[in-house]
Amino acid sequence: MLRRSRAGTALAGQPPAPAGGRGARRLLVPGVLYLGVFFVLPVGTLLATSLYAPVPGGELGQYTPALRWQNYPEALGAFWPQLVRSFAFAGAATVVALVVGYPMAYVIAVRARGRRTLQGLLVVLVVAPFFTSFILRTIAWKQILADGGAVVGALRWLHVLPPDGRVSATSAAVVVGLTYSFLPFMVLPLFAALERLDPRLLEAGADLYAAPATTFRRVTLPLSMPGVVAGTLLTFIPAVGDYVNSSLLGNSTTTVMIGQVVDARFFRLLDYPTAAVLSVVLMVTILVLVTAYVRRAGTEDLV
C-alpha cells in the first residue's frame, strides 16, 4: 500500500510525457522489429521446442511439434541439482563481488574525487580486462590456480589447504572465476551511484555524532542503493547462466552448472526439448527472483 502510494506520487511529480506524433511512433519501428525478431520470436520458438516429442524410431535430433508437458517434470527431475547449484554459485559470486567491488567503487568515486587523471586511470583498470577475451582470461585463472602454482603453494604453506589439497576443479574455483568475470559489472554501476554522493551529507552525519559505520549504514549505503541493485542484477543474471567458468574451472561432478547442461543437451545430444525446458525454467526463475528483489529494494530509486 505504502509502496504504491509512493510510486503514485513519484508519477504525479513527473512532468507529463510529450504526446508523440506519428513520427515518434515511426522511430519505434526499428526497436520493435528488433525485439520481435530477436526476442519474441526466439522465446516463442523456445517455448514451443520445450514441448516437442521425439519421433519414434527417428534419427538423433529429430523431434515433432507436440504438447508433451512431461518434458518439464522429466528435465527438472534429472537436473534440479544443477539448477539449484547455478543459483547458489551465482548468489555467492554476487555477494563476494559486492563486498570486493563496493570499496573499489568507493575509492574511485569518492576518495579519488577531483583528481581526474587518477580517477580515469582507476576506471580504465576496472574496464581493462574487457580488452582480452573472456575465455582467455578464464583459462589464465586455470593456470593461476593450478596445483603447482603460487596460490595453491601459499595456501598449503599457511595450512589453509592440506598438503594434497587443490583449488582448481573445485566449487571455490568456479565461484572465484564467476566473481572475477562479472566484477566490472558490479563496480561500474556502484561507481556511477557513488559519484553523485554529496560529501556534505557525510560531514553532516559526523556533525551529528554518528560513528563512521552508522554514517555508512544510514547515509552512504541508502544513497548508493540504485548502484547496488543495478550491480547485483548485472552480476547475478549473467552468472546464473554462465557455463564457461564451471566447465573450465570446475570438475565433472560437484560444480556443474545449468548452462553446461543446456550446452551438452543441445549440441552434443541434440536433445532440444530438454535444453529448451531448462532454458525456459532458468528464464522464468530469474524473472521471478529479480522481480521479487527489485520490488523489495525499490525500483523508484533506480532512475
Site for other proteins in 62-81 (CB under 8 A): 78
Contact of 142 with 251, CB cutoff 8 Å? no
Q: Output DSSP code: residue 266.
A: I
Q: Does 32 bind other proteins (CB under 8 A)?
A: no
Instruction: Show contacts with other proteins in window 84-123 (CB under 8 A).
Output: none
Q: How many residues at the interface with other proteins, by CB under 8 A?
A: 45
Chain-centre distance for alpha carbon 246: 15
Tell me the closest approach of the beta carbon of residue 74 to other proteins, in angstroms: 12
Nine cell digits for residue 303: 532512475
- Going residue by residue from 257 to 276, which x/- string records binding to other proteins, judged by CB under 8 A? ---xx-xxxxxxxxx-----
CB 225 within 8 A of CB 301: yes
How far apart CA 298 and CA 301 sit, in angstroms, is: 6
Smallest gap from residue 235 Cβ to other proteins (A):
24
**199 closest CA partner among 302, 103, 109, 303:** 109
Cβ-in-10-Å burial (0-12, 13-18, 19+) of 194 comes to buried
The interface mask with other proteins, positions 233-252, x = CB under 8 A, is ---------------x-xxx
| Comparison of 127 and 135: residue with beta carbon closer to other proteins | 135
Task: Pick the piece of the chain touching other proteins (CB under 8 A) from 28-36, 45-53, 102-110, 290-298.
Answer: 28-36
Q: The cell 532454458 sits on which residue?
A: 279
Determine the Cα–Cα distance for residues 228 and 206; give it in Å rounded to an integer. Answer: 24
- 176 touching other proteins, by CB under 8 A: no
Which residues have CB under 8 Å from 264's CB, separation 6+? none
Q: Which stretch binds other proteins (CB under 8 A): 26-34, 114-122, 123-131, 232-240?
A: 26-34
Shortest Å distance, C-beta 27 to other proteins: 11
Which residues bind to other proteins, rule: CB under 8 A?
Answer: 18-22, 29-30, 33, 37, 57-61, 78, 82, 139, 142-143, 146-149, 164, 166, 168-169, 248, 250-253, 255-256, 260-261, 263-271
